[in-house]
Each structure stands twice: as C-alpha cells, then as structure tokens.
Amino acid sequence: MPRTVLGLFFTFGLSMASIVLVLTRYASPLGHIVFELDGRTRAIYDPFTRPPAANAIADTNIRPVKAHTQIPDACLDEWVSFGRWKGSCIRVPVEESVIDLVYIWVNGSDVLHWESRADLLESLSYSTRNARFRQHDELRHSLRSAFKNTKTWKNSVWHIITADVPDPDEFDDDQRLGLVPQWLDLDRAWAGGENGEPPVYMYHDSEIFHLTSIPGHTPTIEEVEKWRASVLPTFNSMAVESQLPHMNPDVVSENIIYLNDDQFFVLPLPPSAFHSALYGPVIRLYASFMVQADVSGDADGGGEWRSLGWSAHILNQRFGIRGRAYIGHNARSLSLPLMHETALMFGDYFALTPMSQFRGSHDVSSEFEVNTVFTATHFVMERHREALLWSWVVAKWGGARGLLDGELKDAMWLELGADDGRDELRRNTTQRTSNDDVLLNMRAAGLEQPQSDRPEKRANTTYLFVSLDGFTSNYERRAKEVLLSRNDCIGESKEAAWTVFRRLAVEKPHCGDAVIVALTDASPHGLSIFLPPHTSSVPVAVPAILPLIMPSSSPPLPENPRGFAVRLIHRYAYTIADTPAAFFGVETAEQGRMYLSWLHADLALLCVNDDLYDDAMNLTQGDAMLREWFGNKWPDRLAYEK
C-alpha cells in the first residue's frame, strides 16, 4: 500500500539547499521500492539486508589464475623459456580472454543519497566537491559505447556497484536501499539483451565491503562490526575501489576492466587490447610522470595525489624504493586474483582506506587512502621482478643447499657477462624486443592480435614492452646500459642465497634491476637464463607464490624448483601498451564542445571528467551540452533500457 513520506530532494544545478517534498513510497510488484512525486517516479531502489559480519571477513586464500592452469607444464616451460608459442604449445587450445566490465556509479541527486550525504558532511564538519556526485547520464552512454565496441567478446558480463542508504521506513540499519539507474530494467538486464547485450549485475556498497588485516591474522566478528560502523555509508569512490578485490570470483571473471562512468570506448577493440593468456593484463602508463613516495599527507586529499604518494610509499616498503609511473586515467585492465593478492599483502592499509568516508576526510598520518588501481598494477610488475630474481638466485644458484659460496658467486658473476676478477660490470645493452614477436605468437595461438592496419575502424594497440623481456626501470623500455658492482650487489663472502635475493629484490633495487637487464641481454628471447635446470617432473601445485611478507630466511625450496619458477614467473606476466586515448576535464559547456571537437579518428578510449564550475547557469549549460553530445555519439538504446 502506498505511503506518504517527507524527504529532501536535490535536483541538478541547484545548490545544496534543503527542499522539503512530499513523496509517495510503494513497493513494485517485482520488489523494488519506488518514490513518486505527483504521480511521477523520482527514484527506484533495490531493497536488501546487509550481510552479517561473518560474511564480511575477507577470503584469505590466494587464488590461482585459471587461464594459466589450463596451459600444460611442458608448453608453459617452453613459452617462458623462449617466448615463442611453438613446439609443445602448438596444439594447446588457447581462447580469447573472458573479460568483464566493472563500474562504480552514484546518482548524487538521489533524494535519500543526498540526505545521507548532507548529514554525514555536517557531522564531520567536512566539505567536498559536488562534481564527485553529479551525473550527466554518463553510465547509460558508457554501456552503449561498450556494447558497440566489444560485440565480439565472448561471455562478458557487466557489473555495476552503486551506493546504498538506510531504509527510512525501518529501524534496523541492516535494512538497506540500493540505488538503481532509473533507466535500467533490472528484471531483464541480468539475462542480457535480445540483441546480444551482456548481462548486467548490480551490487551495493554494503554487500561488497570485506575487512582485510595483516597477513596471517583473521579479524574477529567484533572487529568487523566496529569497522563497518566506521566506514559505511561511504561517499568515497576510492573506498569502493579498495573493495573491488572482494568481488565474488564465482560470478566475476578473473580478467576485468575497471571503469568510472565517465569513461567510454570509441572504437572496436579486441580482448588482446586488455588481456591475453599469453601476455597477461595490458597496462597503459604515463612513463614521463613518475610518482614518488610521500608520507607527509600534505598533498591534496580531495583528489588522488595524497593516495598516490602513500601508495608509492607502501610499495617501497615491500619492494624497494623507486619512482613508479602514473596509470592512465581511462579503462584499466586488472587481474581479479592478483588484485585480491594485493589486498591481502597490504591488508591493514586496504582496511584503513574506507575510513575516509569522503575522499581525504580521514586525515590521519599512516592511515591515508590506498590508490587501489595504482597499487594493484605496480604490484604485478614488482612480483614479476621478484619472481625472476628468486628463480635465478635461490632456485638456480642456491639450490637445495640454499648457500652461495665464493665459487658459486664467481660463476654467477661470469653469467652476468662480467670479467673474472673485476668488481665492476659496465656495458651498453642490446635492445631486446620480444614485443616484436607478438603478432607471430598471437597467430600461432589463434588469438586476435591487438594491432590494427585500419586504426580508424578498429582500435590500434601497440605492445611497448612485454614481461618476457624482464623488467624496465622506467616502465617503458629496457635500460640502455648495465652498471653493476659485484661487491655492492653480489658480494664475495659465503652467505645464504635468500640473503642475496633480499638484497637484490628490496634492499638495493638498483642491483636487482641491473642483474635482470644483464641476464636478459645475454639471450635474444625468453627467460631461460633465469631458470634452474630440470631436476623433477612432479606437478606444481597452483598457485605458485612467494610469501606475502618478505621473511628473513628462505622458505623450503619447492620439490620441482624449475616448474615452480616457470609458474611463478608467468603468474605475474603483464604487458605495457599504447592505445590512442584522451582525458578531458570539462569546466564549461563551451570548453567541452571545443575539447570534444578535437577527437582524432583513431581515438579508442575517452574520459570526459566533470570539472564544471559550481555556478547554476554553467552547470545547467554544461549538463545539457554533455547529454546532447553523449546522445549523438551513442544513440542506440540497449535492449534493457526503459
């Protein structure tokens, strides 16, 4: 039966002033909660009960990369060793990666969301930019752009994470109302569209928030309840991003593209533009913009700069000090199992991130927000580097004894290409480019290649660097020179192989970088020089991983060191690539029209960010311009649009 309620309603373009409206609430036949004003629907909600605290403890099991487990040991050994998909691999079936899209979305003008947000801002004595919550129908058109340009992808599913609010009709705070795009027919979307549109699944913040902790500790029910009371509701997209690793792996593909609703696909792209079983996730970086660690908290917390500096710091603690490249702000490719592993490694930091219920609001030293995309992306690169160094130092040279004496170190030094008896190795390198083999390998594996000879019709993605070439300190290309001191990096005296590994991997990262470049320079293809000899055919249990926290002494050597090393290295395979992309921060309608008139014919990825000035006329004009442009660019309705 309909009920009349009072509520605050915020319409686009108005200041955050209270407007009391008389709304009618009723439950639809399909169970949704509907609010009407004068007989017109103003909001639709998805009612649900927040999961119990016991269900909000993060799963601590390290997940395998399923696509890798389908590659036989002999083929994977050949692939990692030589970087060519032939021989033992030639009849191995490889499928295009199944890739899901994951969005986070909020309608800041929603009546209940606006009330909840205003109440929390007042209680915190905090202010935030309205632009973070405005929407110009971007999500609808982003989904349209995705359908138009990923039609060839198999078994893709789209996932939308939205905010939720307390049900004002219930006294129990566990009864929640999840926001729903009013134009989306949820009762049809889960099955996909009759024109081939992928299924759409909806989640709400209170359903996906899971508490992580330091590795080895399982939170108690009391800790979970206290944490959830401190972090929810959230109005911080970075808090929601920190929970993406906990999406259900039985429902969400292990390969995802994470998007904000203002990010769009402009041209058709193959799956290999984002992921493949051969080369891993495809990363797009700004190599000229290196992020340095910053523990001061002085950077702008309302943007992403404080979180980037803090994330660089926690990566330095675990993997060694270096600058790390900024991740392009467009559709971002991520591995769900590796993102989950990242959240477990840095569990306490991920748990502290949602303490900022608004971006930057929890301004407490050592408790700043983690930038999940930045951290999870560089985690993969660093774990691959770590895998190479472990394989060479511990598995190959340390062996079962785990000790390196002077004679073994002499042999290691010679393998690096140094002259016996000299402390310094210094030479120019050859430019190893395994990415030149991408087209041949993709053809051999039966996969659609990422490059295009018609870049105005199908997006052109160029692989700049593949992890089969080892590691690069500037994340774009290999160093042109090897500079290595034996005394500083390898040492002379007898010591545990694990000690040398730790030195190269974390304590003196410049040494580890130089070792990897020297070794890859010694062979034209693949990573065979890093691998221990074949000594066992015992199958390797997956996932093959090294400890999350770097221990002071070595874990037991695996029964099959080579097989373990091969699976470990390939687990963290990745690619650095370039795809034509553009990012525009739109401040006025006129500026937006100018920016959007500049789009090149080969542009594949686009982000149109709302930076509109908070002036009523400017907001109204800017909103009208953006909606008109989006509608003209992607006019074709999805089958499950109302």
Residues 591-630: pLDDT tens digits? 999 999 999 999 999 999 999 998 999 999 999 999 999 9
Residues 426-440: pLDDT tens digits? 988 887 878 889 999
Q: Are 143 and 150 in contact (CB under 8 A)?
A: no
pLDDT at 2 over 80: no
Where do runs of H (alpha helix) occur along 492-560?
497-502, 509-521
Residues 366-402: pLDDT tens digits? 999 999 999 999 999 999 999 999 999 999 999 999 9
Label residue 8 by pLDDT band (50, 70, 90). Answer: very low
* Residue type present at position 237: S
What is the spatial distance between Cα 145 and Cα 266, in angstroms, rounded to a whole number?
7
Mean pLDDT of 181-203: 95
User: What residues contact residue 436 under an 8 Å CB cut-off, 6+ apart?
Assistant: none
Distances (CA, A) of 601 to 138, 142, 264: 21, 19, 15
What 3-state class would DSSP assign to 555?
Answer: coil
Label residue 38 by pLDDT band (50, 70, 90). Answer: low
Residues 265-300: pLDDT tens digits? 999 999 999 999 999 999 999 988 999 999 999 999
pLDDT at 6 over 60: no
pLDDT at 11 over 50: no
| CB-count burial class (<10 Å; 0-12, 13-18, 19+) for 323 | middle
Token couple for 372: 């999940």
Residues 310-361: pLDDT tens digits? 999 999 999 999 999 999 999 999 999 999 999 999 999 999 999 999 999 9
Q: In the prediction, which pLDDT does 21 show? A: 57
pLDDT at 176 over 80: yes
Token couple for 207: 């359903």
- 469-504 core/surface letters (b: 16 or more CB in 10 A; e: else): bbbbbebebbbeebebebeebbbeeeebbbbbbbbb
Q: Are 469 and 408 in contact (CB under 8 A)?
A: no
Q: In the prediction, which pLDDT does 472 show? A: 84
Q: In the prediction, which pLDDT does 480 show? A: 80
Q: In the prediction, which pLDDT does 37 show? A: 66
Higher pLDDT, 97 or 436: 97
Token couple for 431: 């430019």
User: What residues contact residue 632 under an 8 Å CB cut-off, 6+ apart?
Assistant: none
User: What residues contact residue 122 under an 8 Å CB cut-off, 6+ apart?
Assistant: none
What is the spatial distance between Cα 399 and Cα 498, in angstroms, rounded to a whole number?
11
Q: Are 411 and 398 in contact (CB under 8 A)?
A: no
If you average pLDDT over every residue of the chain, what do you get? 92
Q: Are 391 and 531 in contact (CB under 8 A)?
A: yes
Q: In the prediction, which pLDDT does 287 show? A: 86
Any bridge partners for residue 105, and if so which? 162
What is the 3-state secondary structure of 275-320?
EECCCEEEECEEEEEEECCCCCCCCCCCCCHHHHHHHHHHHHHHHC
Closest to 230 in 3D by CA, of 209, 214, 203: 209
Q: In the prediction, which pLDDT does 15 show? A: 40
Label residue 22 by pLDDT band (50, 70, 90). Answer: low
Among 116-120, 510-514, 529-533, the least confident range: 116-120
Residues 562-580: pLDDT tens digits? 999 999 999 999 999 999 9
User: What residues contact residue 358 under an 8 Å CB cut-off, 6+ apart?
Assistant: 120, 121, 124, 126, 128, 235, 236
Q: Are 282 and 274 in contact (CB under 8 A)?
A: yes
Among 11-25, 81-95, 338-352, 527-541, the least confident range: 11-25
Label residue 20 by pLDDT band (50, 70, 90). Answer: low
| pTM attached to this predicted model | 0.95
